[in-house]
Amino acid sequence: MLSFLRASSRANLSPYHVVIRTLITTENIVESAPEKKLYKKDPPVSSSEPSDSALPASGMSTFGEQFPHYDIVINGGGIVGLSFLLYLQQSPFLSDRKILLLESQKDRPPVNLGELINQERLLSNRVSSLTLASKQFFNNLDVWSNLEPYAKPTRSMHVWSTKYSKGITFTPHRISFVDNLIKDSRCHIPGDDNLCYIIENDIILAGLRNKIRSDCIRFDSKLTNVDAIPGDTTVELTLSDESKITTNLLIGCDGYNSFVRQSSDINYFDLDLSQSAIVGTVQISKESDLDENDVAFQRFVPHNRNVLALLPLTQNFASFVLSVPRNQVNGLMELSDEAFVNLLNENLFLDANVSKNQSMLSFVTNTCDSLLEKIIPSDAASSLPRINPPQVISIEPESRASFPLKFGTTLPWMVGTVKGGDKQKCILIGDSAHRVHPLAGQGLNLGLGDAEILGQYLDEALSNGQDIFSDNETSQEQLNQVLYNVERQRQFKLIPMMTAIHTMQDLFTYLPSNVFTAFNKLNFVKNEIVRFANSR
Amino acid sequence: MVILMRFAVRSNLLPWLLSSHQTNKSLTVGVRNLSTVLPDEVSFYNNAGFDWWSGISMKPLRALNQLRVPLIRDTLTGGRKLTTSKPLNGYSCIDVGCGGGLLCEPLARLGASVTGIDPSQSSIQAAEEHRDWFSSSLSENLNYKMTSIEDFVVNESHHNQFDAVVASEVLEHVQDLDLFIKCCEKLIKPGGNLIVTTINQTLAAYIIDILIAEKVLGLIPQGTHQYELFISPTSLQKLVEHNNFTVRSIQGMMYNPLSSRWSWSKCTANNYAMVAVKDAKETKQNS
Ligand SMILES: Cc1cc2nc3c(=O)[nH]c(=O)nc-3n(C[C@H](O)[C@H](O)[C@H](O)COP(=O)(O)OP(=O)(O)OC[C@H]3O[C@@H](n4cnc5c(N)ncnc54)[C@H](O)[C@@H]3O)c2cc1C
């Protein structure tokens, strides 16, 4: 167990992969992590630095020089990048191509997932909920069977705001007549008894890493410059060791600070949500001995605009994500464990009425609420997954970590040209193209969807005998067509989903709670929401 | 505005907006001549400097590969799961009326040994040039020959040689269809497939392919298509079944010019594809 711990703490150098305790405790440190500065300040390194004078300043002077060439270069080996690479390795058409993945972190020592299961281990505080489509994707990649022992099946999710009993309970998708109407196979979701699965990010990474042939990964290697000249159908990449390579297609899986994105002409729209998330692992009370702890809870706390999510991890433990206004986060991170547990319980149990404020808005809300209450019969309690929310008993020492929350997206575009070039040569997938609030647990799933669709479309093109990686115009046209089709396909999913996530918080905070009671009865609509969330 | 432009580019509107000015002669659907086709057609197509591989007007035909390549591939492999990047290794196909090799190259890339024949010298030249310049790895299993099918059939060593004969977008230019099908039959191995894509003889086809495409929008030169040469799936089925084939499938094909994507459809009113198997023995002598 210890070695696993040490391994992960060594591996998690990047600002985003804050897994282990003590390493990083406040977002200030997160925000000022060195890598990021490097990207921000000096992107066109090679042209300005004197040490590079011996090297060609741009792609121009590289004429005649032959650098190693790859059909596809993937920048970033997070969960999205590794899944995409594994998809490529498992396609008979794509595994034939020359592929390289660059990852700035060092390789992790292999983790024996089979052995790990029998050991007592510390639960990591970075967890994700996987939708059924993502489970299916991992299943097709043949990694799900290794992940499954660690994945906590979640049977339902209860979302509420003012009153626990006036919330919405989402349950697994049921086959309905809609299934017969839908033609697009991507909207059909695999039948499953569960709503989603909660699993630690580290376990997913280890599962993927164990399956991947590592000869096409270069660890500890960062992209430092991307160069293209008009008319050229390849892109020239400079790596941190100053070696150069060329590629036909550059795929950015390098997270929300994407270097590929910054080196392209794809516009990024971002918004600081002025919120931060605190994550950690807690022990929670069981309702009875039969309680399997298989319900996810999410509360939009009305009086302080916090959002608290509890995701079940094991029989007794859950992972929490608490999003709070940015200015409070340092104070909360400094709280003692007991005080923090109390704070979590307050956020779960505190009744909104306690802090009735006198604003016009709340007056309107309350009036609507009492009107609605008369109309809707209140038998909601019967369908609750638990009579009361679970109580937090204790927090794992030093499991707290915080992240600034931001919203950012390149949509509607994901495909673009590299700065300096005039051909569509790069595509962004995962957080590099869309970073969302964690409240809906969708971020990773959207990224996995991108990876799967991009992989499928590339595979389809090659299986149709298309020549998409050659150095000529026809080939470029065919590659563009593939990339545009991926982009268009993803827009249908990403734009509505991101809009929904972005408005959800306001909806839950301002709508009268009886609206949710009413909504909770619309099983058909809920069923369709579950379908949308779980499909590609 | 910029966004609109980008949309136009991405949804392939641009070629449509631009194309009507540039097409005059640069276009035809792959013409494939037979003795049965008007003789001066060959010279017409010889003279028209085709831009098979990058011309805007060829875009629908290039895009048709999205349907016809998988159709041919899956017909040959019997729809088995593809486990190598050369699933057609060991299969031989002939593309009758291959034009600039738009269909031959993908098939060869999937491993098939492909022969492309076309009576037009300039088409064959374009096809060979493209192969040698851009796809030189295919030179081993992709050969072109300037000939018509009936001349090709004269050589008996070609008989019963091919796992598949592909006649894609060519029947609508053939006058003596019966002769054409008989020639195909000779080339195919018993149990091999005849794979056809063509245009139906319907009002819809007349409106889309002649009225709109030729007369109104001028996307393709007037006279490219003649309504009398179009053939309905039922007549074609009768014809091939007379000639020792059994029809396996007939599927409609739809083109969306905005996304430049083809899709399969139940409706065969305009374009359709037919797959027919050559019967093992010539037992099936119809009256
Ligand atoms: C608090 C919190 C809770 C969340 N909960 C959920 C949830 O429940 N469900 C869910 O689906 N999602 C969740 N998410 C979102 C999810 O974590 C992300 O969407 C997902 O990790 C994105 O994966 P990625 O591979 O795109 O990016 P990342 O995981 O950020 O990976 C990027 C990789 O690229 C590497 N890299 C970066 N720059 C370079 C470079 N220049 N050269 C080489 N390599 C480079 C990095 O080292 C890293 O390995 C949550 C996020 C947060 C903050």
SS3 sequence, A134-170?
Answer: HHHHHHHCCCHHHHHHHCEEECEEEEECCCHHHCEEE
Determine, yes or no, domain membership for A1: no
Nearest to A73 by CA among A244, A267, A262, A232: A244
Q: Tell me the pLDDT tens digit for each residue of A481-500.
A: 999 999 999 999 999 999 99
pLDDT at B281: 67
Q: CATH number, domain at A373?
A: 3.50.50.60
pLDDT band of residue A45 (cuts 50, 70, 90) is very low
Distance separating alpha carbons of residues A504 and A284, to the nearest angstrom = 26
Distances (CA, A) of A480 to A43, A468, A491, B68: 26, 9, 16, 20
Alpha helices in B188-256, H assignment, sequence order: 203-205, 233-242
**Pocket around ligand 1: residues whose beta carbon is below 6 Å from it?**
A 14, 16, 75-81, 102-105, 128-129, 222-223, 253-255, 259, 277, 279, 321, 403, 430-431, 438, 441-445, 447
The CA distance from B109 to the nearest CA of chain A, in Å, is 5
Q: Which atom of ligand 1 is nearest to the CA of A253?
A: 26
Domain ranges of chain B: 37-77+88-201+231-280
Residue with tokens 């596809």: A72
The answer to whether the beta carbons of residues A427 and A484 sit under 8 Å apart is no
Cβ-defined contact of B82 to A92 (cutoff 8 Å): yes
Q: Tell me the pLDDT tens digit for each residue of A239-276.
A: 999 999 999 999 999 999 999 999 999 999 988 888 99
Residue A347 predicted with pLDDT over 50: yes
Nearest to A241 by CA among A14, A46, A10, A42: A46
Distance separating alpha carbons of residues B251 and A215, to the nearest angstrom = 44
Lowest mean pLDDT segment, chosen from A131-140, A244-253, B21-30, B154-163? B21-30
Burial of A241 (0-12, 13-18, 19+ CB in 10 A): exposed
Q: Give the Cβ contact number of residue A40 at 10 Å.
A: 10
Distance separating alpha carbons of residues B152 and B132, to the nearest angstrom = 23
Q: Quick one: what percent of chain A has pLDDT higher than 70?
A: 82
Burial of A115 (0-12, 13-18, 19+ CB in 10 A): exposed
Cβ-defined contact of B106 to A484 (cutoff 8 Å): no
Q: How far is the CA of A417 from the centre of ligand 1 (A)?
A: 23
Residue A3 predicted with pLDDT over 80: no
Nearest to A322 by CA among A262, A387, A399, A252: A399
Q: How many domains, in total, are found in chain A?
A: 1
Cβ-defined contact of B65 to A464 (cutoff 8 Å): yes
Going A182 to A188 to A194 to A198, the CA torsion angle's sign is negative
Distance separating alpha carbons of residues B236 and A219, to the nearest angstrom = 60
Lowest mean pLDDT segment, chosen from A366-370, B228-232, B244-248, B272-276? A366-370
Structure tokens at A348: 């779960």
Question: In this complex, is the C-beta atom of B260 within 8 Å of any C-beta atom belonging to chain A?
Answer: yes
Interface test with A, best of B134, B254, B263 (most A CBs within 10 A): B134
Question: In this complex, is the C-beta atom of B107 within 8 Å of any C-beta atom belonging to chain A?
Answer: yes
pLDDT band of residue B86 (cuts 50, 70, 90) is very high
Burial of B254 (0-12, 13-18, 19+ CB in 10 A): middle
Mean per-residue pLDDT over chain B, rounded: 82
Question: In this complex, is the C-beta atom of B274 within 8 Å of any C-beta atom belonging to chain A?
Answer: no
Nearest to A73 by CA among A101, A104, A96: A101
Tell me the pairing of strands A307-312 and A156-160. Answer: unpaired
pLDDT at A202: 93
Q: Tell me the pLDDT tens digit for each residue of B182-200.
A: 999 999 999 999 999 999 9
pLDDT band of residue B228 (cuts 50, 70, 90) is confident
pLDDT at A117: 76
Region of residue A438 (phi > 0: left; psi between -120 and 50: alpha; otherwise: beta): alpha
The CA distance from A226 to the nearest CA of chain B, in Å, is 23
Q: How far is the CA of A1 from the centre of ligand 1 (A)?
A: 25
Phi then psi dihedrals of residue B96, to 5 deg: -85, 120
- Cis check: omega of the bond before A412, within 30 degrees of 0: yes
Q: In a 3-state reduction of DSSP, which class is residue A428?
A: strand
The CA distance from A72 to the nearest CA of chain B, in Å, is 17
Interface test with B, best of A481, A483, A492 (most B CBs within 10 A): A481
pLDDT at B162: 96
Query: Chain A neighbours among B 192-211 (CB < 8 Å)?
Result: none
* Domain extent at residue A456: 15-29+41-534
Determine, yes or no, domain membership for A342: yes
Task: List the A152-154 sheet strands across, edge first.
Answer: A127-130, A196-200, A152-154
Q: Give ipTM to 2 decimals.
A: 0.83
Nearest to A178 by CA among A536, A531, A533: A531
pLDDT at B207: 87
Q: Tell me the pLDDT tens digit for each residue of B249-262.
A: 999 999 888 877 89
Query: Hey, which residues does A227 pair with through a beta bridge?
Result: A236
Burial of B249 (0-12, 13-18, 19+ CB in 10 A): exposed
HSE (side-chain half, CA atoms, 13 Å) at A324: 18
pLDDT at A27: 34
Q: In a 3-state reduction of DSSP, which class is residue B175?
A: coil
Residue A28 predicted with pLDDT over 50: no
Question: In this complex, is the C-beta atom of B108 within 8 Å of any C-beta atom belonging to chain A?
Answer: yes
Q: Between 3.40.50.150, 3.10.20.10, 3.30.70.1150, 3.10.50.40, what CATH number should domain B37-77+88-201+231-280 receive?
A: 3.40.50.150
Lowest mean pLDDT segment, chosen from A59-68, A278-287, B60-69, B176-185? A59-68
- Residues of B with Cβ-Cβ distance to A477 under 8 angstroms: 54
Q: Tell me the pLDDT tens digit for each residue of A139-184.
A: 999 999 999 999 999 999 999 888 888 888 898 888 777 777 777 7
Q: In a 3-state reduction of DSSP, which class is residue A165?
A: helix
Determine, yes or no, domain membership for A10: no
Distance separating alpha carbons of residues A407 and A268, to the nearest angstrom = 10
The separation between the first and the last C-alpha atoms of chain A, rounded to the nearest angstrom, is 36
Structure tokens at A448: 């996995």
Q: State the helix-helix crossing angle for A473-510 and B2-10, rounded to 10 degrees.
A: 120
Distance separating alpha carbons of residues A4 and A23, to the nearest angstrom = 15
Q: In a 3-state reduction of DSSP, which class is residue A132?
A: helix
The CA distance from B173 to the nearest CA of chain A, in Å, is 26
Q: Tell me the pLDDT tens digit for each residue of A417-434.
A: 998 888 899 999 999 999
pLDDT band of residue A352 (cuts 50, 70, 90) is low
Lowest mean pLDDT segment, chosen from A199-208, A465-474, B35-44? B35-44
Q: Which atom of ligand 1 is nearest to the CA of A403?
A: 53
Indicate the residue of B10, B66, B133 with minimum beta-carbon distance to A464: B66
Residue B180 predicted with pLDDT over 60: yes
